[in-house]
Structure formats: structure tokens, C-alpha cells
Amino acid sequence: MKPILLSLLVVLLGFSPLHSEAADVKSVVTPGKKIKVEEFDSLRTKPNFQVLDVRTADEFKSGHVAGATNLNVHDPEFAKKLAALDKSKTYLVHCARGKRSAMATEQMLKAGLTNVLDFTGGFEAWIKAGKPVEK
């Protein structure tokens, strides 16, 4: 195929209505990428995305992002619990400010979970932005 036709085909396929959700995920997810409030908020309700709150159970009970799963990064069973996570999902990881989410993200990547995004502002940035909190 001639280079110009191949280029045209790539452009057309890239904007095709058959463009998949999986392709959208791959364009957003660079393993361990750090994201901020607005990107976190826009991704958290997408299919196959899961919010993972790595704060303590008490912190989680005092308020959390709706739909979040709590998995304390300091839990001695954290690595074991990571192994049970669905590797096909994309995880939006957060803590209070960013230190624990960075630590959790690193452990998740080492455990073979590649669809992991680190919400660096954490729950404090979420509250400061006036986003909804569930208790």
C-alpha cells in the first residue's frame, strides 16, 4: 500500500465510530501517571475504572469519594489484596495528599497492575475543589 493511502487509512480508522473504549483507556493510562482533581473526576465514573482509596479504614469512614474501594496501603495484607484485584480494570489511586498513593501505585505496578493512575492531590484536593463526599 502506498504511504499516503496508509496514512489516510490510519487517520480514518483513528476517528472511526468503531473506535473502542479500550483504545480510549490506553490513551489516558500511562502506568503510574499522576493526575489532578479534574482528570480524576472525569475518569472515576467511566466503565472499567475503579477508585481505590488507600487511606485507613477510619479515614475512609469519615468521608470518601462515592464508589471508592478502601484498601489501606499500610495493611500487612496489602500485597496479598493487590493480587486479588482485577488486572483488566484501571485504578485511580488516592490517599489524603499523595504520599501513600504514590507508595501504593509503585507497589501495584510491581505486582503487575499496569492500568494505575495516581491522584496526587488526594482527598484533601477533592474536598478543596468542592467535590461530593460520601460517608
C-alpha cell at 102: 504514590
pLDDT bucket at 31, cuts 50 / 70 / 90:
confident
Question: Is 52 a domain residue?
Answer: yes
Residue (of 92, 99, 89, 82) closest to 117 by Cα position: 92
This prediction has a pTM of 0.80
- Give domain status of residue 23, yes or no: no
13 lies in a domain? no
Whether 42 is covered by a domain: the verdict is yes
pLDDT at 107 over 70: yes
Domain of 97 in residue numbering reads as 30-128
Q: How many domains does the chain have?
A: 1
Q: CA-CA distance, 4 to 9, in Å (whole number)?
A: 9
Residue 121 belongs to some domain of the structure:
yes
Contacts with 121 (C-beta within 8 Å, 6 or more apart), sequence order: 36, 37, 40, 94, 97, 98, 128
Is residue 90 a part of any domain in this protein?
A: yes
Q: Is 28 helix (H, G, I), strand (E, B) or coil?
A: helix
Q: Which tops the pLDDT comparison, 86 or 7?
A: 86
Which residues are known catalytic residues?
95
* Whole-Å CA distances, 6 to 9, 14, 15, 20: 5, 12, 15, 20
* Reported confidence tier of residue 28, pLDDT bands at 50, 70, 90: low
In a domain, 48, yes or no: yes
Which residues is 90 bridged to in the sheet? 49
With a pLDDT cut of 70, the percent of the chain lying above it is 79
Here the CATH number for the domain that contains residue 73 is 3.40.250.10
Question: Considering the domain boundaries, does residue 40 fall inside one?
Answer: yes
